[in-house]
Structures are given as structure tokens and as C-alpha cells.
Amino acid sequence: MTSTFRLGGAQLYGRDDNESWEAFEAAIGALEGGRALAFSSGMAAVTAVLECLPVGATVVVASDAYNGTRRWCADAARRGRLGVRLVDVADPTGVVAACEGAHLVWLESPTNPCLVVADLAAITAGAHRLGVTVVVDNTLATPLLQRPLAIGADIVVHSVTKWLAGHSDLVMGCAVTADPGRFDALRERRSLGGGIPGSVEAWLALRGVRTLPARLLRAQATAGELAARLGSHLAVERVRYPGLASDPGYAVARRQMDGPGAMVSIDVVGGAAPADRVCAAVEILTPATSLGGVETTIERRARYAFEEAVPPGLLRISVGQEDVEDLWEDLDRSLNRALSDPA
């Protein structure tokens, strides 16, 4: 808890150095297989990575990447800062083709909120042949389930706010790389931009990381059970969960992940209005944005601007620590109500 250090030690000033960040960074760096830098939010980490690009650079971006990342890129394109090409990450050939002449490809896998799985090995190999930097937002999988640097990616980013910290009580981000040059460039961005976390946040986030396996593996088991049951619910048109054999991302997820994670998205029969009724009816699930906390959250993503490509009736469910039967009873009842109420 200091801004100021006695000169001559390892730390210089509170915008450059902090021992609580360093403890958090050591843990995440070890888990991801690189060196980590903590930021004030996931978006501050996104900003630092993209601001390392020269003006006029072209970025290839997952078309259903997190809303904030796409908005950042669209804003940069509007201001002439970057050229942006949107791609469907489920199609590795198309992604690599779009990398021709680009500087960086921004992947997310699984994506938020459609849970599309990108073949990281195929895209990374193709992008590297073209000299393109590969960034993976690993927020939804976490290093417990997926380690993109080991697959060949150059930089990993996280919204630490989510699974890593895990208790919906802080906002924080990080970027991780094994490349010393990229690390120095990102550290310089952080010192100049000032997107630093508070020391209390870093301490809390590290405490959260200590229980990541206990939280995420339990939530994943619950998510798998709910996904299977939701698949035969009359009010559900489609379940999106890479742990289901019927999911288009299943085979790639089996290959590159150690588990499908604890996010489940469903397309509610009838679209936006019934989906909104589900969110209004739930009592154990919490209607809220954000994800990765101990409480299960549910949200109709298309209610937001910039989510036009998301089906209007898609509900994103971030499964938490509650009992699976309590969650199922709540979801089943709320979905039945959505079916029976007039549109």
C-alpha cells in the first residue's frame, strides 16, 4: 500500500512497481507459461496490447469476441488508428486468409457469448507463417483449462475480474507473454498509460486464484449437467456448450482444452421476449452482466448495443457454486413460465 519507495531498491514508483501485483503476476505467469503484467481491468490489458501496434496497422478480430474488444477496434478504425477485419473464428482457413498483410490476429476461445471454439493451433501456425502476432483472450477458459502460449500464441489476455478473481468483487486484467521484447513493450504501455490495479485488488485476485481449481471444476461439472438437461427442454432451441458432443466446437475443445468450462449459452424458443421473461423469473440465478463469480449469472446479451450478431433470444449463463438441483429447478421453472406466458 504505497506510492513511494526508498530509492535504491527493486521498486521505483507506484505506477511502475508494486509487490502485490508482482505476487499475482508470478502466479499467472507460472500458470500461463510466460511473464504476466497486471492491469486495472481486462480492457486496460486489451488497450495496452493494441496500442503497441503502429498507427495504420491491420488487426483481424473474432467477429463475436467480447463486445468491449470489438468496440475498441471499431473506435480505433473510425479514428484511422487501425484497420479492422472481422472473422468467424470457427473457420481457421478463413481466419488465416484474412491475416494476409495484417499485423495481429485477436482470438477468443471459447468466445463470449456464443461459445464458439477457435482451433488455436491451426490459426496460430497459419498466422505465424504470415508474420502475424497472435493474441488469445483466455478469460473464459483460464489457464486451468487452456494454455494458449504453449499452443504457440504470442500474448494472452484476461479479464481477471471473471474466473481468476472469481468473487465478483473487483475489476482487474492482465496480459501474459513469453517474449521479452513484447513484455517490455507492454510494461512500458502500462507505465505510460497508467492502467494499473490497486494493490488490494491484486491481493484479492491472488487469493481468488488459489481456489480457481475448486471453483471452476465444480462449476464446470454443474455446467455439464445443466447443458445436458437444457438440451431436452421444450423452451430451448439450442444449447451452446463445447462439452456437448453435438456442439460444433466439441472436437477442437477436446483437443486443446482440459475441460469445456462453466459457461453455457442457450437460444430460447421465441427469441427476445421469452428470453427476457426467463431473466425476470429466475430466483436463484442472478440476472446480471459479468461472469465467472461464485453466483450463477444469466443475461440476454442482445439487449446491448454492439451485439447485433448475437441471436436475440440467446441467454448466457455463467455457472457458479450453487447446488445443481437448485439451479435446475430455477431454470426449468423460469423456462416453463417463458413458454406459457403470452408473448
Q: Beta partners for 236? A: 268
Q: List active site positions.
A: 15, 66, 137, 162
Q: Does 47 bind ligand PLP (CB under 6 A)?
A: no
Contacts of 240 (CB under 8 A, 6+ apart): 114, 115, 247, 264, 265, 266, 267, 314
* Of 95, 120, 171, 226, the one binding ligand PLP by CB under 6 A: 171
Q: State which of positions 173-192 bind ligand PLP (CB under 6 A).
A: 173
Q: Which residues on adjacent β-strands are paired with residue 35? A: 177
Q: What is the per-residue DSSP string for 27-70?
A: HHHHHHTSEEEEESSHHHHHHHHHHTSPTTEEEEEETTS-HHHH
Question: Closest approach of Cβ 151 to ligand PLP, in Å?
Answer: 18
Q: Count residues binding ligand PLP (CB under 6 A).
A: 13
Copy the grid coordinates of residue 137.
483472450
C-alpha cell at 107: 482470438
- Which of 151, 181, 199 is CA-nearest to residue 35? 181
- In this structure, are residues 127 and 101 in contact, taking their beta carbons and an 8 Å threshold? no
Among 34, 42, 242, 249, binds ligand PLP (CB under 6 A): 42
Which listed residue (14, 33, 68, 152) binds ligand PLP by CB under 6 A? 68
Q: Cβ closer to ligand PLP: 25 or 108?
A: 108
Query: Rule CB under 6 A: is residue 256 a binding residue for ligand PLP?
Result: no
Which CB, 112 or 296, lies closer to ligand PLP?
A: 112
Phi and psi torsions of 234, nearest 5°: -60, -25
Q: Which three cell numbers stand for residue 174?
A: 492482465
Judged by CB under 6 A, the residue of 161, 168, 199, 296 near ligand PLP is: 161
Residue type, 205: A
**How far is C-alpha 57 from the geometric centre of its chain's CA atoms?**
24
| Near ligand PLP in 103-142, by CB under 6 A | 108, 112, 137, 139
Q: Is 43 in the site for ligand PLP (CB under 6 A)?
A: yes
| Site membership for ligand PLP, residue 32 (CB under 6 A) | no
CB-nearer residue toward ligand PLP: 42 or 274: 42
Q: Establish if 146 lies at the interface with ligand PLP (CB under 6 A).
A: no
Q: Which is nearer to ligand PLP, 85 or 301 (CB)?
A: 301
Distance CA 266, CA 276 (A): 13
Nearest to 261 by CA among 294, 224, 293, 220: 220
Helix (H, G, I), strand (E, B) or coil at 246: coil
Q: Least CB distance from residue 171 to ligand PLP, whole Å? A: 5
Span from 22-30, 38-46, 178-186, 311-319 in contact with ligand PLP (CB under 6 A)? 38-46
Which region among 3-11, 35-43, 49-57, 145-153 touches ligand PLP (by CB under 6 A)?
Answer: 35-43
Q: Which residues bind ligand PLP (CB under 6 A)?
A: 41-43, 66, 68, 108, 112, 137, 139, 159, 161, 171, 173
